[in-house]
Amino acid sequence: MIMTNPILSMNQATIKYADLATALRVCSEAGYRSIGLWREPVEEVGLDTAVKMVKDSGLRVSTMCRGGFFTMEEEPARRASIDDNRKLIEETAALDCHVLVLVVGGLPEGSKDLTGARLRIGEALAELEKDALDAGVTLAIEPLHPMYCTDRACVSTLGQALDIAAPFNPKAVGVTVDTFHIFWDPQVQESIARAGREGRIATYQVCDWKTPLEADPLLSRHYMGEGVIDFRPLTEAVWNTGWRGDIECELFNQKIWDTDPAVVAKKVSDAFDKEVAPYWPL
């Protein structure tokens, strides 16, 4: 008897080596009703085929990952990035998904200008706002842990993401709330409440933190319960905003990637039931 929580979504990166067909099959068989897709496996089969496969699977697409990477100054690369984000907005909409996660990018090569890089995020969003609105897709700025600030995402706190989102329509620009990236933040409770108040929560993602970090800190994400994050206050804070969406589990972890995806799907579901679901009284 399959007992996977109906609001749990498997982010495809958690079963990174599964192609789209496998990912959809594994998630369906494990009782998931929702999946967060990555562009590469979608584009591998082609968008039209992917749309049909997803429709046939019956799964909801909770998020599309990922746009962003537009902190650079120079024009040709910048134009290419904006165009690429437009394409991703269309793909997201085509998949009947309403959230495109944005990893905004770090410092451009050779630059030390964090302030400038951060300003260019808002400039890019201003260019993309109308496309997002027209497509019914929310661009979900993801604050990443400050250890990724210079090489991956110079948005490091939820409060900062909300400040960057503030000038834009909340239907067009929201935020990603990922426990791994923000649990340490002494202002996390007030920032989650503010995100809810301002209508900016586009996705809630759960993942655990433990030390020592992996040698590649990007791969240091763990099943809920295997680390030191207390999911109760974070999950309750999101619940208390009134946001109700699918909750994703996204784990970059070599050991998990090397595991049979069906086993991973079960472990994610079990971890969710134990660590998160008790604080989400649907």
Which residues of the shown chain bind its own copies in the complex (CB under 8 A)? 107, 111-115, 118, 145-147, 149-151, 154, 156-157, 159-160, 163, 183-186, 209-213, 215-217, 228-230, 233
C-beta of 145: minimal distance to its own copies in Å?
Answer: 7
Contact 280, 239 (CB under 8 A): yes
C-beta of 178: minimal distance to its own copies in Å?
Answer: 14
Instruction: CB nearer to its own copies: give 44 or 230.
Output: 230
C-beta of 29: minimal distance to its own copies in Å?
Answer: 33
Angstrom CA distances, 280 to 26, 79, 199, 232, stand at: 25, 42, 19, 9
3-state secondary structure of 217: helix
Q: How many CB atoms lie within 10 A of CB 268?
A: 29
C-beta of 215: minimal distance to its own copies in Å?
Answer: 4
**Lookup: tokens for 76:** 């040709």
Instruction: CB nearer to its own copies: give 76 or 110.
Output: 110
Instruction: CB nearer to its own copies: give 95 or 195.
Output: 195
C-beta of 229: minimal distance to its own copies in Å?
Answer: 7
Instruction: CB nearer to its own copies: give 37 or 175.
Output: 175
Contact 175, 140 (CB under 8 A): yes
Instruction: CB nearer to its own copies: give 26 or 224.
Output: 224
Cβ-proximal residues to 154 (8 Å cutoff; 6+ apart), any chain: 71, 104, 105, 106, 107, 114, 117, 118, 121
